[in-house]
A and B are shown apart, each in its own frame.
Chain A
Amino acid sequence: MNFLSVGNPRRLLKLLIVVFTSLIIGLGLLTPANADTVGEEYDYAVLGNVKIEGVAVGGVRMVVEGAGYSAETLTSDDGSWLIGVPTKDVYSVTLDESTLPAGVVVLEGEPTQEVELGLSGRVVMNFFIGEGERNEVSFVDQFISRFIYGINFGLMLGLASVGLSLVFGTTGLSNFAHGEMVTFGAVAALVFGVFMQLPIWVAIPLAVIASAGMGWSLDAGLWKPLRKKGLGIVQLMIVSIGLSLTMRYIIQFFIGGGTEQLPGFDSPKISLFGAVALSSNDLYSMGISIAVIIGFAVWLIKTKTGKATRAISDNPDLAAASGIDVDKVIRIVWIVAASLAGLSGVLWAYFRPGIKWDMGTQILLLIFAAVTLGGLGTAFGALIGALIVGILVETSGMFIPSDLKYVGALVVLIGVLMFRPQGIMGRKQRIG
Chain B
Amino acid sequence: MDWGTIINNTLAGLLTPTTIAFALAALGLAMHFGFAGLLNFGIAGFMAIGAYGYAISVLTFGLPWWLGMIIGVLGSIAFAILLGVPTLRLRGDYLAIVTIAAAEIARLLFLTTAFTDVTGSADGLFGYNSAGGFTSANPFPPGSYGFGPWTYNSETLWVLTFGLGVLALCIWFLWALMRSPWGRVIKGIREDEDAVRALGKNVFAYKMQALIIGGVFGGLGGIVYAAFANVSPGVYVTSITFFIWTALLLGGAATIFGPVIGSVIFWVLQAFLSNILPELAINGILPVDGTQAATLRFVLVGIGLMLLVIYRPQGIFGDKREMTFVK
Contacts and interface: CB of A to CB of B under 8 A. Distances in A.
Interface of A: 2, 4-6, 9, 12, 15-16, 19-20, 23-29, 118-120, 122-123, 174, 226, 229-235, 237-239, 241-250, 252-253, 256-257, 361, 365, 368-369, 372, 400-401, 403-404, 406-407, 410-411, 413-414, 417-418, 421, 431-432
B81 interface: no
A410 B92 contact: no
Contacts of B94: 372, 417, 421, 431
A26 B114 contact: no
B161 interface: no
Contact of B122 (A28, A248, A257, A431): A28
B290 A15 contact: yes
Contacts of B93: 174, 233-234, 237
The contact size tier of chain B is 35 or more
Contacts of B301: 245, 249
Closest 5 pairs between A and B when the two form their complex, measured CB to CB:
A246-B302, A432-B91, A245-B302, A26-B234, A242-B305
B38 to A, nearest CB: 11
Interface stretch (B104-112, B165-173, B177-185, B217-225): B104-112
B305 A245 contact: yes
B327 A407 contact: no
A52 B89 CA distance: 49
25 contacts: A12-B282, A15-B289, A16-B278, A26-B237, A26-B239, A28-B123, A28-B232, A118-B116, A119-B59, A120-B116, A174-B93, A229-B310, A231-B309, A231-B326, A245-B239, A248-B298, A252-B298, A253-B288, A365-B101, A369-B101, A401-B114, A403-B108, A403-B112, A404-B109, A432-B92
B39 interface: yes
A235 B309 contact: yes
Contact of B309 (A12, A239, A404): A239
Contact of A417 (B90, B123, B291): B90
Contacts of B232: 25, 28
A280 to B, nearest CB: 32
B276 to A, nearest CB: 14
Contacts of B296: 249, 253
B249 interface: yes
A256 B290 CA distance: 11
Contact of A361 (B86, B122, B238): B238
Contacts of B112: 401, 403-404
